[in-house]
Structures are given as C-alpha cells and as structure tokens.
Structure 1
C-alpha cells in the first residue's frame, strides 16, 4: 500500500482527459532531458482482493501472470527513453512478491536494457506476508531489489480477517523474520488505522509490534472508504463500528509521539523514516517530478502530462498490441503549479517559495497564495524561513481542507 497516495489519485482523476490522447513525438536530446528517471511498475495480481482496495488488481492464474509479464516487457520496449539511467524503481500492486524470481529478473533486465539503472538506484518491491520465503527473498536481492515494503495492515487476527487479508498473524511474524534474515536493512511496514472494530488499544499494540520489528520506514494510513469496495458498501464514515473522528485523531497524534520518540523522522503526512531512509521513489511524487507508469492501471507523469493506462487487463493487452506510447495533453502552467504545491505540502518540510516563483513566476505564485488565505487565517498553513508548510498538528490533521482550496 505504500504506493501512489490518494492525493495523487485525485489529481490524476481531475487532470487526465479520457478522450484526448496523442502519440508522443520522436525523442531528441532536448526532449530526452525532460524524461523521467523514475519508474513505477504495476503488478496487479493478488491472492484475494482486500475489503478496502480500489486499485487495479485481479486474482490471476500462473499462465495469466506469465502473459502479463510478457506484455510489460513489450510496453517497456516502446516507452521513450532518456540518455540517463533510472534512479528509482517501484514495483507496486497488487502483490509483486507473487512474481517468480525469473519474472522479476526479466522485468528489471528489460528496464536496464531500455533505460539503464543507476548503480545506487533504489529498487523497491511491495510484498505481502505468506507470499515469499528466504530463498525467494535472496533471489529478489540478486535480481537487484534493495528495498521491501511489507503490507501488514494490522497485528490483530480479527482485523486481518475483517480486511480480507490473505495472511494471518503467524505469516506476518514469519515474513518479518525472513526479511531480517535476508539482510534487508531497508524495509517498510504498512499499517492502517481507523478500521472497523479497531480500538485505541488495538492501534497501540500494532505500533508496539511494528517498532519491535525495527523497520527503516513505517507508512501509516487512515482508512478511506472507497465507494466500490466491500468496506465502502458496508460502512458509512463517522458511524459505528468505525472509530469516531476523535479516536482516529488521537491514533494519529499518538503515532507521531511514539515514532518520533523512537527515532523516526515524520517527513510526510503518512510516512516516517529512520534518518537517511526516506523513500526516494515516493519523493518523486511529492516533488511533482516526472515518472514512468508501466502496466495496466498504472499512472505516470511524462512531458508535463498525467498518464493512466487501461485498468482492465484485456484493454491493456490490446493497448500494448497497438505498440504506441500515447499520452494525454500536457497540463497548463497554472495546473502544474497547483499540483506542485498540493503534493509538496504533504512533506513536513513544505515547499520553498522562491523555487516556485523561479519556476512559475511571482505573479502566479502570489495568486495561488491568495487562494490559500483561509488556510493561513485558520492557522493550518504557515510561511516561515522561506517555505510554505502545514502546521503541526492542526495543518496535518486538516490537510484535506487545505488541499480542497487548490483543486
């Protein structure tokens, strides 16, 4: 789940015109300099679909997974390449740890052949408990993976079952042990708060267990009820058995208190890291830098345009067979500025105002700051030391109110 966040999903939904696409021009050196050095690879396969999940995932057979990898390689082959190598690669899903080591090697090999991969590149792979063992982890390492993101979500059996997770608590502890034995110094744990029937005591226990695992990075998400999911159909925001708003606020504040005390830096609304272990790939999103999105349902940001590949597997296969890299019309400067500020404000360091002015012009930045005046007046948004940032904790807790002013 430590993937493109809901904020990015909302931006993409509002900026990609479904019916306006064009074939990109032939790459020349000047254009190549504006191509991404980061790639998101979507692996849509899961053992089961979780009750909260609204991502492009499917329960596939081994044959379908093999075919999908073949088509991924075909897409990579006709994606425009720059003259510099990839600095970050993120395999998300879905459950990328369902891939075989040979399939993963083929994908990373194709990326290396097409784009190049920097020697110190961060290569992340999402994994679920119960989908790998020590032998498989070692093979993933040999293929190039140097960062894992483990989807735990909860440390309570009843909550795992309620969420429709395919693993149990024993699988969670086994997975953590295998990751540590494999020598992954850089791994993330995902947890969700605000789940139905989740008590403050449950959350405290989950935090305790997560800290005991000593991950380099922890991502913690407030449950979002997506309309087309089982949870979205079954529950209503603010109503039991969901924790009430006061409880979820206290869970969030308690999380900050405990993780900061344990030596983690709170560097993004939902993310905490040991010093020097911030997720490099996700920071590409927060700084609104370009990135490739490869695979069915994947999103990308190339040549100033938001890209979304077909979500249905059949449609994706047809799109790849057409063999053309297509993209929506590039967004305008005002829209790009709004996105840059919206995403950058998720970082606790905020956004450097002079950098915005240099990139977009002083007048455009001043106009956007005027739009944000209600957030300044409420104390949710601050300007200090040349940076715009959300206040702590009120701005973090009410970030959606701030972001609404920008869209």
Structure 2
C-alpha cells in the first residue's frame, strides 16, 4: 500500500484515533523450538530436542536480553490487561524464567489483577507440576499446539510430539485446573481427507476445550513443505476439499456450542481470546523479543528475526532510551488495517465507529464497493447495512480474501 496515502476527514471525525491510546496488551516472543516444523516460517531459533530453560545458557541469555528490552521501553500510562507468550515454544522456558519476564512487565507497566495471561505450549514439553507453578504466577490460559491427532501426520509435519503426548498434556491441563485452554488444529495437511478431518474435529470436541483455533495450511516460501509440495496438488487436498473442511468445522463446532467468533477461532461463551481481539480491533500493543511487532503511539515496527540481530538492535534501542525514529501510520493505512483485521471478526465493524474515525465519505465508498458481494451472499444483507459491515459465515469468511483484495485495490489508490 502507498506509504503517503492520506484521507480528508469530515469535521465530525475525532482528532485522535484508537492507535494513540495507551497499550494494555503485551506480546512476548519466545523463539526457541526443539526443531522447525515443515510448514513453519515464523522467526524461531532451533534449540535441539533436549533444550530446556533450566539447562540452556542460550535460553537464559535471551530471557535476560528480553527483560532488558522491557526495562528500557517507555511505559505509556496504563496497566496491562493481557499478556501473550508466543513462539516458538514458550513452554520450553523454566518457570523461574516466566516469573522473571512477568516481574519485568509488572515492574515496568503494571499488570491488572485479573489480566488474561496466555502461553502457547506444545505437548511433550510440560507437565502438571510446571502448569501448577505457572498458574500460581498468573498464567490462566494455555494454547495447546496439537495440530493433528494422527502420529503419521504429526511425523510428516516435522512435529516432535505424538498422540500420547497430547493425551498427557490435556490430562495435565485438567489436573492443574487451568481456567481456559485452547486446542490448535491444522486442516489441509498432506494426505488429509474430509473424512479424516471430520474424525479430528470430533476428537477435539470430545476433549472439550473452551477454545479452538482451526488453521488452514498455507505453503509458505522457504519451508520444507514449499520444497516438497505445490498448493492444491496431491498429496495436499484440493482447494474444493479444503473449503469443504472449513464448512465442516463451522458446522460441527457451532453445533457443539462453540461460537465462530473469528475467521479461524471458536470459543465457548466467555472464552474468546482477549489478547488476539486487540489485534483484530486494531488497538495498540507492546511487542517484545526477536521478530515481535509493536503498535504504539500510532507507529508500527518489527524487531529483527534472528537472536543475534535482535541483541544488536537492542543495544541501539537502549542507547536511544527506548525511542525510535519512525513515521506514524497514515490514515489511509490505518483504514486498510481496520478493514483487514476487523472483518475477521464475526460481528464485523461498527459503521458508526468507522464514520467517527474516518469520515462519512470513505464509509460511503466502502458500502458501494461491497454491493456486489452482498448480492453474492458473502457480506451481510441489506438489513444490517446501516449499523455494521461483516462477512457471512461460512461463505463470506471462505471468500474474504477476494473481497479484501478488491478493497485494497479500491482504497490504495485514494
């Protein structure tokens, strides 16, 4: 998108925007993995099959560096409501290292008493004792990276865990009384069929997580899968088959009592991921660690994607007192970010909010652009036009990228 696109707002548009508010969310990137999964293009650091935070000087050094970044980052005035440990495999950390990071966040920004503190975990990397200790530190939500319930499929993806590890992990989650946990699955894997996907969904439902994240495989450049496979060609499912898998997930999970509240996410009432809603609502957030992104004071930036470059960057950042010479996100870019992220939510975006932030003229242009997609049934019908813009479920979500490409083409030129 254009880096200098601007919008002439009407007088009714407020002078400030949500991106200027004080962040109340923090993402903490823990890059270490035992090995790189064959579909993964995330910024990670391979630590080996025996690496643990308790025994790895490399992991401890990274934690110390990360805490230094937290300490030099300007506090912008509001305690944290959500903290999310992502990766990588955060469950490779020692409990003491998690405590060290949470203490640094608390000292610098403050953490609200009932904050949502989430941690991504892989089966086979934790036990009930560790979970109980983490719960005492305030970790109250776990995202369990199951991905598949089939050992052969897990092996084909380069995952280190197997079904027995999944079963032990879920038993440990229940034993430690973690208040909320999410189960992650991937559809569209090699040799996966609609029938085997149905079995995976039924298995997930039987485990009764409060939340499920269902991701469709994307064959990313520079991955093992990219070297082995072509998207949509055997042994990967076809586009029609993956679309049917998406519809099947929506049907089975909503029938089981899960709200399909975001393109890839389902939750029982009261268990939506509050941290991820910060991204989807285009609100500001702190990011910490290798490869992490931030959105603060109307500015976005991303850290280097290797541990060495991240450590070098931090020296410069610390020397500058936690200040960066960045351009603010333009109104045009913020508008496109708002549409791209907000339309991922089932409730869509309030038109009143869009008018207040961006002006009547731009919203009128949006409605005109969406008209043909309403006729196709991908965007909510005319009765809702006056209050909200949202995709229908499941067809609108399935074809959302088609609509978003059109919106970017339309508004990138304005």
Q: Fold-level match, TM-score > 0.5?
A: yes
> Is residue 2:221 matched to residue 1:227?
yes
- d(CA) in 2 for partners of 1:375, 1:255: 23
Tell me which residue corresponds to 1:26: none
- 1:33 Cα deviation after fit: 7.0
Secondary structure in 1 matching 2:86: strand
* Distance change in 2, residues 1:384/1:72 (3 Å): farther
Residues 302-341 of structure 1 mapped to structure 2, 5 A cutoff: 302-322=296-316, 323=318, 324=320, 325=322, 326=324, 328-341=326-339
- d(CA) in 2 for partners of 1:250, 1:303: 42
> Bigger shift: 59-68 or 227-236?
59-68
- 1:254 Cα deviation after fit: 1.1
Match of 1:343 among 341, 344, 365: 341
- 1:176 Cα deviation after fit: 0.6
Match of 2:80 among 83, 86, 90: 86
> Is residue 2:356 matched to residue 1:358?
yes
Whether the 8 Å CA contact 1:88–1:280 is kept in 2: the answer is: yes
Tell me which residue corresponds to 1:6: none
> Bigger shift: 108-117 or 317-326?
317-326
TM-score with structure 1 length normalisation? 0.90
- 1:16 Cα deviation after fit: 8.8
> Is residue 2:407 matched to residue 1:406?
yes
Whether the 8 Å CA contact 1:15–1:306 is kept in 2: the answer is: no
> Is residue 2:45 matched to residue 1:58?
yes
Residues 12-31 of structure 1 mapped to structure 2, 5 A cutoff: none
- d(CA) in 2 for partners of 1:139, 1:401: 46
Tell me which residue corresponds to 2:66: 72
> Bigger shift: 51-60 or 200-209?
200-209
Match of 1:111 among 105, 110, 114: 105
- d(CA) in 2 for partners of 1:360, 1:284: 19
- d(CA) in 1 for partners of 2:223, 2:282: 29
* Distance change in 2, residues 1:329/1:286 (3 Å): same
- 1:15 Cα deviation after fit: 8.2
TM-score with structure 2 length normalisation? 0.89
> Bigger shift: 197-206 or 233-242?
197-206
Secondary structure in 2 matching 1:406: helix
Residues 112-131 of structure 1 mapped to structure 2, 5 A cutoff: 112-131=106-125
- d(CA) in 1 for partners of 2:19, 2:41: 34
- d(CA) in 1 for partners of 2:313, 2:3: 17
Secondary structure in 2 matching 1:55: coil
Whether the 8 Å CA contact 2:22–2:78 is kept in 1: the answer is: no
Whether the 8 Å CA contact 1:92–1:125 is kept in 2: the answer is: yes
Tell me which residue corresponds to 2:374: 376
Secondary structure in 2 matching 1:142: helix
4+ aligned runs moved over 4 Å, structure 1: 14-17
Whether the 8 Å CA contact 2:379–2:389 is kept in 1: the answer is: yes
- 1:365 Cα deviation after fit: 2.1
- d(CA) in 2 for partners of 1:15, 1:345: 21
Provide the alpha-carbon RMSD of the alignment. Answer: 1.9
Q: Which consecutive residues of structure 1, in runs of 5 or more, have no partner in the other structure?
A: 1-13, 18-30
String of CA shifts for 1:205-237, please: whole Å, max 9, x gaps: 211211111111000000001011111121111
Secondary structure in 2 matching 1:41: strand
- d(CA) in 1 for partners of 2:97, 2:2: 33
- d(CA) in 1 for partners of 2:210, 2:393: 23
- d(CA) in 2 for partners of 1:75, 1:35: 18
Whether the 8 Å CA contact 1:83–1:115 is kept in 2: the answer is: yes
Tell me which residue corresponds to 1:250: 244
